[in-house]
Structure 1
Amino acid sequence: MTTMTEASVREFKMPDVGEGLTEAEILKWYVQPGDTVTDGQVVCEVETAKAAVELPIPYDGVVRELRFAEGTTVDVGTAIITVDVSGGAAPAAEPAPAAEPVPAAEPVPAAEPEEKPQARQPVLVGYGVAASSTKRRPRKGTEPTAAETAVQAAVQRELNGHGHAVAAQPAPEAPAVERARPLAKPPVRKLAKDLGVDLATVTPSGPEGVITREDVHAAVAAAPAAGPVAVPEQAPAAPAAAPVASYDGPRETRVPIKGVRKATAAAMVGSAFTAPHVTEFVTVDVTRTMKLVEELKQDKDLQGLRVNPLLLIAKALLVAIKRNPDINASWDEANQEIVLKHYVNLGIAAATPRGLIVPNIKDAHARTLPQLAESLGELVATARDGRTSPGAMQGGTVTITNVGVFGIDTGTPILNPGEAAILAVGAIKLQPWVHKGKVKPRQVTTLALSFDHRLVDGELGSKVLADIAAILEQPKRLITWG
């Protein structure tokens, strides 16, 4: 790789976008060599072991070189892009080495217009805000697709078959058609790529024509089904001499272990084999809690907020921790100390396209019910959009994982590293239950509490789980105990 030694050329190095991270994967480049960039303009998106983050460039100038291709994992502190800040005309882009090509993230038309300036918020401290667009050089026309080539070949064979001498004539050059790049956030672009959706065909519903996750899912639902025709239920059996394969395509697919999933796997293995886990279970009648949820949905002080059973379960856990504060702790192996936390950063496990993440609500113990509802809503929305910051996933003290949303009764959750307890919430179902001496249909769920047996003994763990169950059975205890 050529080293830029000119004083006018600046190297932008991969920053540490979290606390102590050592590497990040380049997911997408938003610029190419020859593009003009301005201070604060986002030039690429990277994925760390914690989240996906957009990186702004701290220079004004012209892009000289992209040092790494999309999909490459780069160590923190390594130069990833060079920018000519002299203010001169853009030099001709040097061809990328064969080993490190920089593929375009999406097909582009013959000439791409300037994008509408988009106001951006600061991503990293000190980079500021930029509202600018990237100026791109006109690109060469795209090569004919495989389908077009096949059609041309078929026509040629047909004409030759009738004895006509057909001279190869170059196809008339089609006029360049300008098409604006669809507006969508990076997580939405990745979702569309994973689902095979062309964003240019999606009708946007977001503000200022931005394509949302719902728009992508709607496009998938509206698309005609592809692939082989389904076999009728009474289809005749295939002859023994011609067995039918179980399915078409490759028999295996290998997916690289990296990013969030790699970090999660390492953390879970470390937790499972470092902290001795104990899990206790309790099945509880939550009929009164479900009635309270419906009443709170009509409360004017909670209008527009996310009110669901998880909100009251989170509040019940916070009250139980207040009554049994020793469970809100961590094990300091280096100093051989138990660290008691006088605050609760409540983690909520969230499944995302990039893997499982656990963002947390800072100082959840100090929040009122409306404030807790607002924080839960923001946490879930941010996680679904793939915008969870690394800081939001650090410093958790206790976690809730809601496996009930998948119809699961319960599970044995693994502790989030550095925490002493995690609560799993199962599905809430209508079941026969003995209530006031009679068997009646009641709303029932199963809770599971895993805890680190080095610092939480069976008595403490049982008290916490029993308090949570008691509150959910009689939610008025949120007032009398809270």
Structure 2
Amino acid sequence: MIQEFTLPDLGEGLPEAELVSWLVSVGDTVTLNQTIAEVETAKAVVELPSPHAGVVTTLHAQAGDVVAVGAPLISFELGGSSAHAAAPAETAEAEKLPPNLVGYGAAPAASGRPARRARGARSDSPAVDTAVLEAAPHDVLRETELAHEVPIERPRSTPPVRKLAKDLGVDLALVEGSGESGLITRADVEAYASRVAAPVTGPAAARPTSAAPAPGRDDATRTTRVPIRGVRKFTAEAMVRSAFTAPHVTTFHTVDVTPTMELIASLRADKSLAEHRIGVLAVAAKAVCLALSRTSSLNAKWDEAAGEIVQHHYVNLGIAAATERGLVVPHIKDADAMNLVELSDAIGALATTARAGKTTPGDMTGGTFSITNVGVFGVEAGTPIINPGEAGILALGAVRRQPWEYRGEIALRDVMTLSLSFDHRLVDGEQGARFLVDVGDILREPGRAMLLG
């Protein structure tokens, strides 16, 4: 019996998803709940488990195709001598199970999936080379199969990078990734393409290069077109919706954070806290949680449909993170209930998970206020855009050592600029200014947290 499996609703209310890769081929025998494909939604890459045990008869889409929810994805032959079909009760139960959400970005470096066989595989292939790739936080040993017919794992890369490699004629199996956990980046593909390009020799090498393209040159080699999909599409839609829905106001406050930097230095010197990397972001997060408890309008939501302002009595603190797939803002749930060490650990875990591509869609929803640390890029200030559904976002600028008035004299101090964007429907100017000064006062005198927390 042939059983067709359609793309399920992945629980995000999205009408479609992009098929990133097949992990099975026509003719393969699969078991119940075996991972058969990876699909990318606006928020995450999702591994799809098989709802049946049987033999794959048809793949209804190819990698890179955008498939609508409910559209045919794969067909199986159930029963018979060539497959061990699952019992009807097991199959029915499996169809009820939601797919495993494994985060966004490239697939994990080690997944336990059966190796895939390259096209044109033969059994007399020579031995393959291996390469040790440096990854964070641990080194990962990855075998790069260079022979024509050796089982290989799909090289870890994102859809835009795979598109670039295809345009440049680069085999990703031959490219060494420099990103997190061996992720292949655009720079890796471009560097490989430049290395294998044939050098120009002889008289032609001495000729001056013209700025104009050579006659008959394909314009496609001069530009790269990347489909607007996945996180980039979701982020763009969210930012446009926020910018044209919520009236943004941004205010700035520059503050002497020398005491905060001294506190951080003393905490890092404490051997009992050696496992906790407490930094300025953690202290600022604690300051934000304290300040939000005294300015509730910044921890609220404008519910247009209900005609209500929803005030939150908890803080789900978003921390903006730059990843290979774009900007994501996962949240620390109930951050207001955490102490400084717990916040620092939560931020570290959040960042590690985001860079490794394992943040789930649930971790990026339900936020009440966000922080973005633009200072890590050497930027002093900015005008951040509010995440939809939140009332404000705070940008932390770079900490600069500069002359500053201190106790009636000029001294070198550590100075930081705070930038607060807020929704003027929810927050009055006085409330935004009071919140920003409150945060600045805690960073200027972190000991105040002992009294105000």
Shorter-chain TM-score bucket reads: 0.7 to 0.9
User: Is residue 77 of structure 2 the alignment partner of residue 84 of structure 1?
Assistant: yes
CA–CA separation in structure 1 for the residues paired with 2:65 and 2:193 = 35
Contact 2:175-2:189 within 8 A present in 1 as well: no
Residue 423 in structure 1 maps to residue 403 in structure 2: no
Larger Rg: 1
- Once residues 328 and 89 of structure 1 are traced to their aligned partners in structure 2, the CA distance between those partners, rounded to angstroms, is 59
> Equivalent residue for 1:354?
325
Q: Give the conservation status (yes or no) of the 8 Å contact 2:257–2:416.
A: yes
Is the contact made by 2:16 and 2:67 (CA closer than 8 Å) also made in structure 1? yes
Change in Cα spacing, 1:246 to 1:217, as seen in structure 2 (3 Å) is closer
Instruction: Please name the residue that 1:112 is paired with.
Output: none
Q: How far 1:442 moved relative to its partner?
A: 1.4
- Tell me which residue corresponds to 2:228: 257
Q: Structure 1 135/405 Cα, relative in aligned 2: closer, same or farther at 3 Å? A: closer
Distance in 2 separating the partners of 1:446 and 1:434 = 16
CA distance in 1, matches of 2:324, 2:292: 32
What amino acid maps onto 2:2 in structure 1?
V
Q: For 1:137 and 1:412, how far apart are their aligned partners in 2?
A: 50
Report the Cα offset of residue 440 of structure 1.
1.6
CA distance, structure 1, for counterparts of residue 9 and residue 292 of structure 2? 34
- Gap runs ≥5 in structure 1: 1-7, 91-120, 126-130, 143-175, 206-210, 230-236
**Which of residues 362, 385, 397 in structure 2 aligns to 1:414?**
385
Instruction: Give the letter for the 1:140 counterpart.
Output: G
> Partner of 1:275: helix, strand, or coil?
coil
Superposed counterparts of 1:114-263, under 5 Å:
123=100, 134=114, 140=120, 179-182=150-153, 186=156, 198-199=172-173, 202=176, 212-213=181-182, 226=195, 243-245=210-212, 250-263=221-234
Counterpart code for 1:19: E
Determine the C-alpha separation between the residues in 2 that align with 1:58 and 1:300: 51
Of 404, 417, 420, 2:375 maps to: 404
- In structure 1, the residue matched to 2:20 is 27
Aligned to 2:292: 321
CA positional deviation for 1:298: 2.9
> Against the structure 1 CA distance between its residues 322 and 76, is the aligned structure 2 distance closer, same or farther, given a 3 Å change threshold?
same
Distance 2:343 2:12 in 1: 26
The Cα of 1:141 is off from its aligned counterpart by 5.0
Offset at 1:136? 6.4
C-alpha spacing 1:202/1:412, structure 2 compared with 1 (3 Å):
closer
Instruction: Return the offset for 1:264.
Output: 1.0
User: Which residue is equivalent to 2:258?
Assistant: 287
1:42 aligned onto 2:35: yes
Indicate conservation of the 8 Å contact 1:35/1:135, yes or no: no
Counterpart pick for 1:444 among 401, 415, 434: 415
Pairing 1:476–2:453 present: no
Residues 214 and 292 from structure 1, CA distance in 2 versus in 1: closer, same or farther, beyond 3 angstroms?
A: farther
Alignment of 1:46-61 (within 5 A): 46-61=39-54
Q: Corresponding residue for 1:74?
A: 67
The answer to whether structure 1 residue 267 and structure 2 residue 267 are counterparts is: no
Percent sequence identity over aligned pairs: 50
CA distance in 1, matches of 2:177, 2:374: 33
Displacement after TM superposition at 1:137 (Å): 7.4
Unaligned 5+ runs, structure 2: 84-97, 103-110, 123-146, 200-205
1:164 matched residue in structure 2? none
Give the counterpart letter for 1:46 in structure 2: V
Secondary structure in structure 1 of the residue aligned to 2:446: coil
> Given that residues 238 and 244 in structure 1 are in contact (C-alpha distance below 8 angstroms), is that contact kept between their aligned partners in structure 2?
no
Tell me if the contact between 2:264 and 2:279 (Cα under 8 Å) persists in the aligned partners: yes
Q: CA deviation at 1:244?
A: 4.5
Q: Which amino acid aligns with 2:43?
A: K
- Tell me how far 1:289 sits from its aligned partner: 0.9
The reply on whether 1:393 has 2:386 as its aligned counterpart is: no
Cα deviation digits, residues 415-474 of structure 1 (max 9, x gap): 100000100111111111111222222111111101111111011111110011111111
Deviation at 1:67, TM superposition (A): 0.8
